[in-house]
Amino acid sequence: MTRDSTPDRNVRTFTSRLADRARAIDSLVCVGLDPAHGQMPDGIPDSAAGAVEFCTAIVEATAPFALAYKPNLAFFLAYGREGLAALYDVRAAIPAELPVILDCKVGDIDSTDAAYATAWFDELNADAITVHPYLGEDSLQPFLGYPGKGVIVLTKTSNPGSGDLQDRTLGDTGQPLYEYVATRAAQWEQDYPASVGLVVGATFPEQLATIRSLAPTLPVLLPGVGSQGGELSASLDAGLQPDGAGLLCSSSRGIIYASSGPDFADAARTAASTLRDQINSTRAELSRRP
């Protein structure tokens, strides 16, 4: 499919869809779908078919609290050729009004990324994907040229070793790499039809505050909430926009593996609801602060 870089203002943007959904259900919870081998709950087979059954049940249980869903490509591919079909089945099971972010972290030369864009945007119909910017702007243009889609750029990731590269200062700018990426991403949001967002880990709230100042309007996917030890309150303080939105607080294991028993779906629903309430309570406290 041929894309150009002329923004189409008549297409509903991915960012606006997120904002509408957040207001409609009063939630910033993004549910990660990571159907890992060896972790299926009781009664669910450890297979691609089991992954579909598991994820579908999670979606049905948590949909009232989910701002978006984030299936992780790797966990599906681990089931082999059937795993890719399972990903398509799970995507089809997610209601159309719920945005779907494929966590695939792609980034290659432009011709290769054009193929990725066709695969994930046209064929799978993902609403957004995660990408890394290491190859530069031209490598991301095949994704950025899609009106109505989201391109979520790895900026400051939640893993402990992220600073090996992301904290390194660029000699010609004096900025750490993650700050420079945030600055460039904010410009891409202005220059291309796709919505641009950022991935910033909840494990680094101070860096998130800086990134928010550099990209005040971009949605931030916030992994690391829960099992990775992210500081939820500090991250909300650092990353929320003035209207109390702008974050997708992503939890995978903390929700989908809340129980390993046959009650896993009910437990996931409770975990998603609890996280939603924790976020909203903190948002209310922050809104009252002078």
Active-site residue flag, 105: yes
Instruction: In whole angstroms, give the CA distance from residue 29 to residue 85.
Output: 26
- Catalytic, out of 70, 105, 149, 156: 105
Q: Which residue has the tokens 């709230």?
A: 205
Contacting residues for 281 by C-beta, under 8 A, at least 6 apart: none
Give which of 187, 153, 213, 219 is closest to 16, Cα–Cα.
219
Long-range contacts of 80-84 (CB under 8 A, 24+ apart): 80/48, 82/47, 82/48, 82/49, 83/48, 83/51
Active site residues: 105
